[in-house]
Structure 1
Amino acid sequence: MPTAYITAPESDASTLARALVDERLAACVNQLPCASTYRWEGEVVDEDEVVLLAKTTDDAYDELRDRVLELHPHETPCIERFDEDDVLDSFAAWRAGAVESDGE
């Protein structure tokens, strides 16, 4: 099962995280403040951002990525997929149940 690593401006992170969980694209999204330094359009930029770690499933990952692209304010958002080699079975089962669309 994958975790999506996403960075977002502080002003948008909570709304983005909430949408992913509300729409059952992620079971949980952790929000971690961070300071980012990157090159954009020839300039070095320093920006306070939030790292979002969105726990999802293989089946939901593509839709989660597409939804982040729709909602994210940046033209080129950071969205990376981390596939886990070892996940606690009970956590994996909870995550799968939380992402499945079963009307709960």
Structure 2
Amino acid sequence: MAGEILVVFTTWPDIEMARVAAHQLVEEKLAACGNIVPGVESIYRWQGKIETSAEVLVIFKTTAARYPALEARIRELHSYEVPEIIALPIAAGLVGYLSWVKDSCS
């Protein structure tokens, strides 16, 4: 079951957008939960320049089956031209928690 569950990282421009998106994605059963981590400072290259931005990180837990719909919905909700959406498979985890994620996304 571990390989069926993904952790998805996204960054958002502010806490309110992050909260609205997390609430909506959980409500739509595209994610079991979203952990909001405020106060992220991002340093990155964009259009040939080094940029620094204050952002909010959201860590979603979802299933591999729901990932395509989750990604599409994040893109709809997001204000960035190219939002960070990175999914990593879970190699191992508490079976009860992984089952909860799977059930919550069904």
The verdict on a shared fold, with TM-score over 0.5 as the criterion, is yes
The residue aligned with 2:85 is 79
Gaps of 5+ in 1: none
Distance in 1, matches of 2:24 and 2:81, equals 19
> In the TM superposition, what are the counterparts of 1:51-90 in structure 2 within 5 Å?
51-90=57-96
Selected match of 1:23 from 23, 28, 48: 28
State the 1:43 CA deviation.
2.0
Aligned CA-pair RMSD: 0.9
State the 1:87 CA deviation.
1.3
Count of aligned pairs between the two proteins: 100
The residue aligned with 1:12 is 17
Structure-1-length-normalised TM-score: 0.91
State the 1:45 CA deviation.
1.4
State the 1:72 CA deviation.
0.5
The residue aligned with 1:93 is 99
Distance in 1, matches of 2:79 and 2:23, equals 15
Runs ≥4 residues deviating over 2 A: none
Partner amino acid, structure 2, of 1:67: R
